[in-house]
Structure 1
Amino acid sequence: MLTLTDLRKSVRNFTDKPIDENKLQEITDYFKKCRRIDKSIKTEIMIIKKSGLPKDIKEIGGYNGFLIEAPYYILIFSEKKPYFIENVGYIGEDILLKLTDMDIDSCWMTLKEEKVVEEGDKMRITGLIALGYGERIKKISKLKNMFISKYGNGDLEAPKPGTDNEIRMDILDMVFMGDYGKTASYDELTATGLSEGFYAARRAPSALNRQPWRFILDGGTVALVIKKDEYTNIYEAQIAAGAAMLNFAVVISERIFDVKWEMGAADFKYNIPDDSFIIAHCRV
């Protein structure tokens, strides 16, 4: 599973090559048994072709009205219950790893937060994934120019997180020991036996690659902290949190012991700053 979390990448430029119907059915069947945070939350998926994408989905999906064009889309529906968004993030990331294993490319897309959290008991679209076979764009500048040519420079200048890695946050910047902000050495982190789980978590997708997650390792407890961000919203952070939790859980569960995340902060303090909050924890 560690290899799959490393291989999974977001693809934003797809060919029109069709996916075999048997593979589409395999994805649908996998959803029925995929991992979940809370199995009591009712969820459903629908795989549809681009030509069948409902107009209202086009209006609420994508960044600033930009919906990545793909030959197929996975719509994940959920009932509204506590932590239903994180649950969909968890489910969706498990499906993305399955797609990666099937050599099918994919990309998480954001949704308008107000539509996801609107009042009512109805099932609502909570996750949106583009899938197909991608055309590789090797240079970031080419992708950026594609956006600018169609939509203008707009919000593309959002700064990247201050990290030691231009693309992904250094693991020592996201994992703290005992209290928020208390960094560990690589040797200390390796000695815990959890470093591969944290590595997998940092490979999870997040809106604009803002990587909102931080982890606090306190003895036998791992707490997941979400850092608020002016460039993304809480819905996007919750989806990203679910994806990071899934990656951590599948790797540690495969290599050491089964991991079960519990939502909420319990009675933990950890000197969390005002711009952050604990969203979940697990025992290790």
Structure 2
Amino acid sequence: MKFYNFLKKRQSVREFKPQEISNGKMKKLKDEFKNLESNLTNIEFILFENGEEIYNKLEGLGGYSGVMIKAPHYIGLKIEKNDDDTIINSSYYMEKLITELAKLNLGSCWINLGVVPKEIISKLIKEKGTMNFMIAFGIPRDEILSKVTNSEGLNDENLKYLNTYRYSNELKVEDGPSTSKSSRMAIEDIVFKEKLGQNINMDELDQRGLEKLFYYTRYAPSNKNTQPWRFIVKNDKISLAILNPDHKENLTDAGIVMYYFEKMAYDLGFNGKWKLKDSDYIEYDNNKYKIVAEFNI
């Protein structure tokens, strides 16, 4: 199945049935932990099978503006370092894990732990490190997962749900441009040639097979729909520049958009992988940007 078609069936689930998932699905999930962690350093997934215990500890603290999501199980994302590369990698692999949950017909929802006191986080992970996010997951309460609603910053979008850690439910476009007014930036606003601010010709993107890739990528979820990512096409390389990289939320968005971009690129015949990059700040349009990754095409 094409990845963008798979995304059309995805949604962020806020209400779960109380029963635990089957032993078979739990085993598959634990096996996936091991598979993902074999590629990672400084990042670990922690499975909390006793959802009620976690909910009681985080109620009023974690979630959406202090509204904790109640679920039978949770997955914590523990990181040993809070540096830029680790934050980007952790959100990339968390999205990958969410995809695996969806394959098991399990719903999930990001939970922000940014305002949870450190002492509570320390008790949860019981070892060195920190945890900025976790996922609530389980069997969705609603049988139909294709419900579409508008949300903050996305009114009148012709979209379907994506999982996000956001305060709003980000949605995914179907198979082509919407006839309704879109709150998303146009391709011309997020894709540039050789440097930020230098426009790229749409015919050039089309001839190189990149127009469809960027069309779908611009619908990737971002914190409060800020869309902090910009792409620079130069020869056979695409650079990812992030707005205000000192904001950790924007680095999280970088990892998420990298995951969606890479999966959709593969479907379109591009076999490249993102490589993280350390670079100097770039001033553009009275804002500060930084190139954090590069993709060879």
- What's the counterpart of residue 128 of structure 2? 122
Q: Which residue of 2 aligns with 1:259?
A: 272
For the Cα contact (< 8 Å) 1:197–1:249, is it kept in 2? no
Letter in 1 for 2:209: G
Distance 1:15 1:29, change over 3 A: same
C-alpha distance in 1, partners of 2:41/2:63?
28
Deviations 1:173-221 (A, max 9, x none): 3222222233435433222223444345334332223322221112222
Letter of the structure 2 residue corresponding to residue 108 of structure 1:
W
User: Which residue of structure 1 lines up, in the alignment, with residue 294 of structure 2?
Assistant: 281
Give the Cα separation in 1 of the matches to 2:129 and 2:102: 28
Matched residue SS, 1:34: helix
Aligned to 1:21: 23
Structure 1 runs not aligned, ≥5 long: 142-155, 158-163
Please give the residue correspondences for 1:46-125 in structure 2 after superposition, counting only pairs within 5 Å. 46-53=47-54, 57-58=58-59, 60-80=61-81, 82=83, 83-112=85-114, 122-125=128-131
Structure 2 letter corresponding to 1:202: R
Which residue is equivalent to 1:187?
Answer: 203
Cα distance between partner residues in 2 of 1:138 and 1:12: 14
Whole-angstrom CA distance in 2 between matches of 1:56 and 1:250: 36
How far apart, CA to CA, are the structure 1 residues paired with 2:20 and 2:186?
Answer: 37
**1:93 touches 1:246 (CA, 8 Å); kept in 2?**
yes
Relative to structure 1, is the Cα distance of residues 113 and 271 closer, same or farther in structure 2, using a 3 angstrom cutoff?
A: same
CA distance in 2, matches of 1:236, 1:13: 25
Displacement of 1:224 in angstroms is 1.2
> Equivalent residue for 1:149?
none
Question: Where in structure 2 are there 5+ consecutive unaligned residues?
Answer: 122-126, 152-166, 169-179
- What amino acid does structure 1 have at the position aligned with 2:21? I
SS at 1:275 equivalent: strand
Q: TM-score, normalised by structure 1?
A: 0.74
On the 8 A contact 1:226/1:277 being kept in 2, the answer is: yes
Worse-superposed segment, 240-249 or 71-80: 71-80
Amino acid corresponding to residue 289 of structure 2 in structure 1? S
| Residue 230 (structure 2) aligned to one of 214, 217, 228 | 214
- Partners of 1:201 and 1:258 in 2: CA distance: 16
Aligned partner of 1:44 in structure 2 is: 45
Alignment partner of 1:140: what SS? coil
Percent of pairs with identical residues:
29
Distance 1:49 1:191 in 2: 52
Inter-CA distance 91–111: structure 2 relative to 1 (3 Å threshold): same
- Flag the 1:56–1:249 CA change in 2: closer, same or farther, 3 A: same
Which has the larger displacement, 180-189 or 263-272?
Answer: 263-272
Greater RCO (CA < 8 Å, at least 6 residues apart) = 1
Partner of 1:237: 250
From 185, 202, 225, give the equivalent of 2:241: 225
2:107 aligned partner, one-letter code: D
Q: Which has the higher helix share?
A: 1
> Secondary structure in 2 aligned to 1:7?
coil
Separation in structure 2 between the aligned mates of residue 11 and residue 183 of structure 1, nearest angstrom? 39
Normalised by the length of structure 2, the TM-score is: 0.71
